[in-house]
Every structure is written in C-alpha cells, then in structure tokens.
Amino acid sequence: MKIKKIMALKSLVILALVVSFTGCSKKGSTSGASTATGWKINDKKGGFQFNDKFKKQETPPGMVPVEGGTFTMGKVQDDVMHDWNNSPNQQHVQSFFMDEHEVTNKMYSEYLYWMKTVFPPTEENYKNIYYGAIPDTLVWRNRLGYNETMTNNYLRHPAYADYPVVGVNWIQATEFSKWRTDRVNENILEREGYLKKDAKINDVSAEANFSTETYLNAPSNAMGGNEDIVIKGGRSNKRVNDSSQNVYAQRSSGLILPEYRLPTEAEWEYAALALVGNREFNIYKGQKKYPWSGQYTRSGKRQSRGDQLANFKQGKGDYGGIAGWSDDGADITNKVKSYNPNDFGLYDMAGNVAEWVQDVYRPVVDDEANDFNYFRGNVYTKNKIGEDGTVELVTADNITYDTLSNGRIMARNFPGQIAQVPVDENETYLRTQFSTSDNRNYRDGDRQSTRYFKFNSNDEEKTEGEEEKFRMYEAPKHKISSVVDSTSSEKKIIKQYDKSEKRTTLIDDNVRVYKGGSWRDRAYWLDPASRRFFPQDMATDFIGFRCAMSKVGPKSNKKSARGNPKQ
C-alpha cells in the first residue's frame, strides 16, 4: 500500500512538471512576438529586427559611473568674495560617466601624434590642423620668474607624462573630446568585426579616417568609402540572426557609445561634491565644503594624519611647504591620482588644476527656467545636405578654419566628417522649448534681456549699429582680419586690439566657466561651488580638463541596500 502511494505521488509530481514545462514552452513561443502587433520579432525570414540582447552601456575607457540625483548647486557656505554669482539653487542631474582623473600630457600627446600622422603639417592643406591643436607651452612664462624648464619640458618630457595637461584652451579641449569619441568607437567597431583589423593604424589617412557621425549617417562613405575596411554585418549575426549580416552597425546595435564631451557645470559640481558619501536613506547628513568629508584640507585619518588632501597654494610664497616635509607633495601640478578619490571614485576634483566645463558664463544660474540637467551654451546644428540629397562631407578643400581673437588659427572640422549648419525654421517652427539655433543668450544677454527692449514692438526692426549700442554685455571686441600683401602676395594677419574705454565687463558669449581650485589657488577656491570664467580661446598654466559622457538607459545598474550608498 505504501509503495502504491509513493508511485501515485511520483506520478503527480511528473504530471506537474510536464504541465509546468508545457506552460513555459507556450510562454517562450510568444516571447519573441511584438506586444504591438503580435508579429514575430527577429525572424530569420526577415521583418522587424531588434537588438533584445543588449544589457547595458559599457563603461568608456578611463571613466567611472556617476549616479545622478538632486543636490544644492551653488554656495552653502558664506560668500566671502561677495561675487553673488553662485546663489544656492536645487538642481537634478542625470547619471553620467566622468574621467577618473584629468586628461594627462600622455593622453593629449596621443591626440597630437594622431593629428600629425593623419594630417601632416608639412602639407599646406593641413598644417593649421596640427598646429592649432598644440597646447600653448608659453603659459609657464612669467616676467619676474624663471619657468623655462616647464616651458620646454612639461608637455613632452616623460617625467610629466601623468601630470594634467595645461595650456589648452576651451576650444582645444572640446576638439580633443570629439577626437576621443571617434577613436573609442573606431576601436569598438573593429573589436566587433565592423571595421578591418588594424585599419586604424595601417590604412588611415587624411582622406580615409573614421568619424562616428559619418559612419552612422553615411556608412558607405566612412573611411574614404573603402569597402575593404568598412565591413557589413560584423559579428552581430551571431547575436541576433543571419538577416543582419548585410547591414552596418547602427545606434540600435547598442555598440556605439555617446559622445565624449566636457562636463556641464552642474555635472562637474555634483560629481565633485559626491554627496552620496553623506547620504542616509533619502537625506543628506551634514554639508560638504570640499570633495572629501570634513571642513579641513588636512587628513584626520590615523595613517595619514596631517597630510594635505589636495594640491593648492598654502599661502603667499608657499606652493608646497618646507623641503623634506612637503605639505602637499608638489610645487606646480602633481601626478594624477596622487591624492585620495572622493566618494564617486574621482581624483583631483579639488586642487592640481582647475578644469574647463561646457557652460558659457553668466552671473546667474537660471533655475527658474530649468532645474534639470542645467546647461547654458546650447548651439543646435544639423547635418548639411548636399544638392544630391545626401549628407555633405568635409574635404581637404572645404575645411573650416577659425582665426581666434589672439591670432591662433584652428580647424573646426576635418576631412571625413559631416559638415554642420545651424538649425532653421524647419526644426524650430511651433516648438515651445527652443526657437533659435544659438541659445547661449537665452534670458540673459539677448536683446530681450536689455532695458532698451520694447516688448510691444517688432524685434526685427533694427537700425544700423543698434545691436552694438544696446548689447547686454559690453565686453571688448578684438578684431582679426587678413590682407594680401601686394608685394609678396602673402596673406598677413592684422590684429586690432579693442582699446575702447566704454567697455563695462569681460563677459560675452565666448567666455566659459572653469571650476575647482588649482595649484595656484588658495583653499577658498577648492569649494566645488566656486565658479570663475575665462575666454574660451585663451589658455593658462593652471586650467586643464577632463571628459564626461552621458549614460543611456537606467539611472543605476544595480540596487544597493537601503540607507547605504552604492559602491
């Protein structure tokens, strides 16, 4: 009797398992169907294909993830300088990636090597591309100081390889970020079989170099249109199905990373504060004056008690302390990662070098207009379409060069990239969130911001010279012009310095914010909320930069225990 009961029990268990597997099998048979139409997705016979194997954005080289959140942007301490340019306001920042440390001389030298190799300065068409990218090493010179050692060695000597690059203006930092985007995506596509192996070294040239946007918009024209280099399919057919073997990688492939760029001011300040280290549940315990916990610049830990936590100017004539017992271990800049990281794992968010951010400087952060991913400086562009209806690529004959106010010539696009033009009424018509291509002046600096603007009048009716007369910010306007010498037929650059005594400010659309203290600054400037500005086409010996990248997908990839910060 007992045996019969056992057999009956086994039969029930087997029956239950069969029903369970049958249910799973039915569920599995519809798992590849569209919830919109019921049609099968990723059918080998054709139809709609979708990369449902994508898991998450890979961490870009050299970067660490920064989980977004809310924070108080601006001063939370007394404003002893009375700048009144960083009043506290609540902001929310989306998750993003940020460089673990500043861009170093070695990293920037790799950029210069690539530029010199691909666009040889010995060729007339390309000479200003390379020379425009070289940092200004003369920033180390001082009328009453001997700094020729740094002038001659800081950028190139291996002793300074892992020191942050300086002498780089905001435009150069932005161009480096664009170059880095293309090189990283080029490497990923080679790894995944979409580009010929080692083509980035052996086959690259001025006429055939990789551009991410060109590859996405006109892949048959990428790398000079060489089909032996740009391969259809890659290894994607192994992940999805055979129908993808005749297509190029796309954004929907999930392989191509978003662009490297300078962080916005809000992102930089949020990352530097790293309030996550002071969080308990959904509130912050205490305030932070510096990127580290505590109100002092010296370590209170037993193993390193009394050591300085950043590289900055201790006092008048004191950049590093007494020999043999240096306060911060440096007199000028210091090797990156020489000091402990903050709670996001970011190094040197205070001291060493101040850092460029994307934003155009204005005295006020307009949190009433926007309190989400705040950024002033949007200039929207679109791909230029040629007469044949396809995107127009930059060639050696139509490279755009800018002559900066200091006379330096810089290339703003390179052969192989897609030419850009401002957005027009086709993109702005009946939109509520933007109405022009250039939004740098929005609500602070445009004509409507001045006391001369008549709200009931036609803004288009302007007399000659009125725009100059009623400018919101009367910054100097240095002029650069070129003339052809009648005797030698050579082009000469004429620099006209603005000597007007009527200028009231240095602020205009071409000054950018830089954040953080540097080796030249007192401890006051180490506060992440401090903000200063500098012309975007000028460089110094104390401003460097690091890159950021937006995160796509979920805010966080993993859930942490309640009340504890994510690791």
Domains of the chain by residue range: 50-377+510-559
pLDDT for position 31: 55
CA angle 337, 138, 116 (to 5 degrees): 75
Q: How far apart are CA 511 and CA 328, in angstroms?
A: 31
Q: Tell the burial category of 69 from Cβ atoms under 10 Å away from its Cβ (0-12, 13-18, 19+).
A: middle
What's the pLDDT at 7? 56
Sorting pLDDT into bands at 50, 70 and 90, what band is 28? very low
pLDDT tens, position by position, 80-94: 778 888 889 999 999
Lowest pLDDT segment from 12-16, 25-29, 99-103, 110-114 = 25-29
Q: Do residues 444 and 366 lie in contact, with contact meaning Cβ atoms separated by under 8 Å?
A: yes
Q: Which amino acid is at 417?
A: Q
Of the candidates 314, 310, 319, which has an alpha carbon nearest to the alpha carbon of residue 145? 319
State the alpha helices, DSSP H only, in 61-104: none
Mean pLDDT, residues 422-432: 92
Q: Which residues contact 418 (CB under 8 A, 6 or more apart)?
A: 211, 213, 214, 217, 218, 383, 384, 391, 392, 393, 394
pLDDT for residue 239 is more than 60: no
pLDDT attached to residue 23: 47
Please report, for residues 252, 414, 419, 484, the alpha-carbon distance to residue 383 in angstroms, rounded to integers and kept in the order given. 20, 14, 6, 33
The CA distance from 467 to 487, in Å, is 38
Dihedral, 515, 521, 527, 529 alpha carbons, nearest 10 = -30
pLDDT score, position 265 = 98
Residue 440's pLDDT is what? Answer: 93
Kindly calculate the radius of gyration of the chain based on its CA atoms and give it in whole angstroms: 28
Residue 3 has pLDDT above 70, yes or no: no
Give the CA distances from residue 243 to residues 39, 234, 285, in Å, rounded to whole numbers and listed in that order: 17, 12, 55
- Percentage of the chain exceeding pLDDT 70: 83
Find the helix or strand (DSSP H, E) in which 467 lies. Answer: helix 466-469
At residue 19, the pLDDT reads: 47
- Mind listing the pLDDT tens digit for each residue in 46-58? 888 888 888 899 9
Q: Specify the pLDDT at position 240.
A: 45
Was domain 50-377+510-559 assigned CATH 1.10.1240.10? Answer: no
Checking if the pLDDT of 18 tops 70, the result is no
Place of tokens 């020489």: 338
pLDDT level of residue 242 (50, 70, 90 thresholds):
very low
pLDDT tens for 513-546 read: 999 999 999 999 999 999 999 999 999 999 999 9
In the chain, the amino acid numbered 257 is: L
pLDDT value of position 245:
60
Which among 226, 103, 241, 236 has a CA at the least distance from the CA of 176?
A: 103
pLDDT band at 301 (very low <50, low <70, confident <90, very high): confident
Write out pLDDT tens, residues 488-500.
Answer: 667 777 888 888 8
Provide the whole-model pTM. 0.88
**Among 16-20, 267-271, 350-354, 391-395, whose mean pLDDT is lowest?**
16-20
Question: Would you say residue 567 has pLDDT above 60?
Answer: no
pLDDT at position 131, please?
Answer: 94
- Report the SS3 class of residue 521: coil
Nearest 5°: CA angle at 143, between 137 and 148? 40
Reported as a single tens digit per residue, the pLDDT across 141-163 is 999 999 999 999 999 999 999 99
Q: How far apart are CA 182 and CA 200, in angstroms?
A: 11
